[in-house]
Amino acid sequence: MTATLRVGILVFPGSNCDRDCHYAVTQVMGGRADFVWHKEPTLPQVDAVIIPGGFSYGDYLRTGAIARFSPVMAAVTRFAQAGGLVLGICNGFQILLEAGLLPGAMLRNRSLSFLCKDIHVRVENTATPFTSRCKPSQVLTLPIAHGEGNYYADQATLTRLKARNQVIFRYCTEDGKVTPEANPNGSLDNIAGIVNDTGNVLGVMPHPERCADALLGNEDGRLILLSLLDAIKRGRYSPKPVLAS
Amino acid sequence: MKAKVSVTLKRGILDPQGQAVLHALSSLGYSGVKDVRVGKLIELELATHDRAGAEAEVKAMCERLLANTIIEEYRIELME
């Protein structure tokens, strides 16, 4: 009998995907989900942390800019630096960028529109705790819902991300071609998701938790959640540079 | 003492809001506008009267919170 896996789900004022993530952890991953209020200075004993989507602090100043100074983020930073698994989705990705746990920043969507639709992403690296169940170059259909998903990094950072295979998802056409037309928001190099240089922190703009149940008509998000489940089961993920796939 | 902090996207980073305003101005007939950058203005009321101290503190605020220096640049203006 193995111990139940436990996932901490951060809750900021303005988070709105926290309950979807709770459902994904308990119903899809079969684990226990603990909401962690942003004022908590420490994390409970968890195997992974999810920073859910939403509009923390009303997106005031910049998306994620104020949330990153919440007490819980200091605990998440320690957890991540010790090799803990952290998944930031949408606003969670924006918070990870502002917190410096992932490199780069988010700009307004090129169109200035809030985009809420299904898009396609190509899995660029399957040797991560978040994509091990995917096939190389597999195309996933996932929903996006954001106004600021236009990823930006300077040239040196982009070069480093690419050299270390830290770009995990790229916006693509239905048949897997990474083209400017398939880029919904103007994101640099069609980037939809990246990991940190030790591979244990993923930021992703599309929402895997919103497409992980047959009832919703799309289960592609399960691959990401179940990869995370596998990584937890394999034992604590030991930080190491992301390997070339 | 008051501080005005203006934050804009760095030169070289596409400012879609600025572009939208530029196009709107041009459709209104203002064809002489070459570029538009839209930014934020943050006004601070400071308790101090020490100009040098205030400048250093506001700069620290910009670096830590008010601007994201990966994508933005800031200008500080101090007044009594």
A241 within a domain of the structure (yes/no): no
Give yes or no for B65 touching A (CB within 8 A). yes
Give yes or no for A104 touching B (CB within 8 A). yes
Residues of A labelled catalytic: 90, 207, 209
Check if the beta carbon of residue A205 is closer than 8 Å to that of residue A193.
yes
Cβ B71–A105 below 8 Å, yes or no? yes
pLDDT (average), residues A106-123: 95
Give yes or no for B32 touching A (CB within 8 A). no
Cβ A107–B13 below 8 Å, yes or no? yes
What average pLDDT does the structure give for chain A? 94
pTM over 0.95: no
A121 within a domain of the structure (yes/no): yes
Query: pLDDT tens, A156-195?
Result: 999 999 999 999 999 999 999 999 999 999 999 999 999 9
**Domain hosting residue A135, numbered range:** 6-233
- Per-residue confidence at A4, pLDDT binned at 50, 70, 90? confident
Residue of B nearest to A185 (CA): B16
Which segments of chain B have a pLDDT < 50? none
Q: What are phi and psi of A239, to 5 degrees?
A: -60, 130
In angstroms, what separates the C-alpha of B16 from chain A's closest C-alpha? Answer: 6
Set of chain A residues whose Cβ sits within 8 Å of the Cβ of B20: 112
What sign results for the dihedral spanned by CA atoms A122, A124, A125, A129?
A: negative
Give the pLDDT score at B50: 94
What whole-number percentage of chain A has pLDDT above 70? Answer: 94
Set of chain A residues whose Cβ sits within 8 Å of the Cβ of B13: 107, 152
A149 within a domain of the structure (yes/no): yes
A238 within a domain of the structure (yes/no): no
Indicate if the pLDDT at residue A243 is higher than 50: no
Cα dist from B15 to A29, A81, B9, B71, whole Å: 41, 34, 7, 10
A1 within a domain of the structure (yes/no): no
Angle A184-A187-A192 from CA coordinates, rounded to 5°: 80
Count structural domains, chain A. Answer: 1
Give yes or no for A109 touching B (CB within 8 A). yes
Cα dist from A128 to A228, A244, B70, whole Å: 9, 10, 26
- Identify the three-state secondary structure at position A244: coil
- Identify the three-state secondary structure at position B35: coil
Cβ B13–A98 below 8 Å, yes or no? no
- Per-residue confidence at A244, pLDDT binned at 50, 70, 90? very low
Cβ A108–B20 below 8 Å, yes or no? no
Please tell me the distance from the alpha carbon of residue A177 to that of residue A148, in angstroms, as a whole number: 23
Q: Compute chain A's Rg from CA coordinates.
A: 16
A217 within a domain of the structure (yes/no): yes
As given in the structure block, the two tokens for residue A77 are 């930073």
Which residue segments constitute the domains of chain B, with CATH numbers given?
2-79 (3.30.1280.10)
Please tell me the distance from the alpha carbon of residue B1 to that of residue B47, in angstroms, as a whole number: 7
A243 within a domain of the structure (yes/no): no
Assign residue B3 a region: left if phi > 0, alpha if psi is -120 to 50, beta otherwise? beta
Give yes or no for B11 touching A (CB within 8 A). no
Check if the beta carbon of residue A64 is closer than 8 Å to that of residue A53.
no
The CATH number of the domain holding residue A17 is 3.40.50.880
Give yes or no for B13 touching A (CB within 8 A). yes
Indicate if the pLDDT at residue A245 is higher than 50: no
A244 within a domain of the structure (yes/no): no
